[in-house]
Amino acid sequence: MSMTQQNAVITISSGSSNSTINVSQTGAAQYLNTDISSLIFAASGGNNVFSILSNGQWIVVEIPTWITVSTTNGFGNAMMIVSVSQNTSNTARTYQLTLSGLNVNKVVTISQDAAPVVGSVSESIVNFVSTGGSKSIAISAGSGWTVTSNNTSVTVSPTTGNNNGTFSITGLPNRQNTPILATVSVNFGSSVSYIYVTIGSTTAVENDNLSNKMDLILSPNPAKSNSFIKFNKQISFRLLDILGNLHGKATNVTEFQITNLPSGVYFIQTNEKEVRKLVVE
């Protein structure tokens, strides 16, 4: 079906005279369509394809620099390859890709996800003496963040912020004879950083210089799961995680095998109320 107007002349003869009739037929209207209405890309970018269905000439209207197409014009049916570059922004982006023909347009929506938000904190472990204290934590982020604590004895302020900033962790005085363990979570949207907090017990940690009085040494530390931890003296102890859950105990030993422990931070608490942090990789 042609889009071109067709013309003809009909001549009628009668004796010595002729008459003519001019006949015109308008060309068919152009149609322009695609087999899809939208394309979605990950933040990493990539390529995709769609089909163009038309009976006439078409062009691609102006496109942004983060999108490229295999051709910007054509006639009739065609395949269009769309390439999208990586999105390094924390904001998703969208563009209405427009195909234009004769008195007809077709739009394909191109959408791309935002880059994942990745942040970091200046500390991963915070230790307070039994009287508590406060610690400022620096945050490096390109977007919003929220902070929470899983223990009411450890508070955080502020609990929300945007981009780079700081917040404080405060440990309340510990009146117990066992350490208080807490986890502070910093959520960046698509990633989370954890800070492990300990408030020493009243009998185990009285001041910042107590570490000089407690001579317990663990080796190796950090350690691999299923390896043997050696102590520099004979001890009786409990092995606790950051939530206070018991993962093992022993009496009068100089070494101990950590068996099938997930990676994380643990604590060796002796019967003499000495506490040592153990990192399992």
| pLDDT one-digit tens code per residue, 37-86 | 999 999 999 999 999 999 999 999 989 999 999 999 999 999 999 999 99
Q: Is the pTM of this model over 0.85?
A: no
Q: Please tell me the distance from the alpha carbon of residue 179 to that of residue 250, in angstroms, as a whole number.
A: 19
What domains lie within the chain, and their CATH numbers?
Answer: 32-112 (2.60.40.10), 120-199 (2.60.40.10), 214-280 (2.60.40.1930)
Give one DSSP letter per residue of 160-172, joined into a string.
Answer: EEESSEEEEEEEP
Q: Please tell me the distance from the alpha carbon of residue 50 to that of residue 63, in angstroms, as a whole number.
A: 16
Looking at 54-63, 210-219, 225-234, 242-251, which range is the least confident one?
Answer: 210-219
As to burial, measured by CB atoms within 10 angstroms (0-12 exposed, 13-18 middle, 19+ buried), residue 180 is buried
Highest mean pLDDT among 1-10, 27-36, 52-61, 231-240: 52-61
C-alpha pair distances (Å), 259 with each of 133, 220, 221, 239, 247: 34, 15, 15, 11, 9
Sheet holding 57-60, edge to edge: 38-41, 105-112, 93-100, 57-60, 73-75
Q: b/e string for 166-179 if b means 16 or more Cβ within 10 A?
A: ebebbbbebeeebb
- DSSP state, residue 31: -
| Per-residue three-class SS string for 200-217 | CCCCCCCCCCHHHHCCCC
C-alpha pair distances (Å), 47 with each of 70, 90, 99, 122: 10, 21, 18, 38
**Residue 17 predicted with pLDDT over 50:** yes
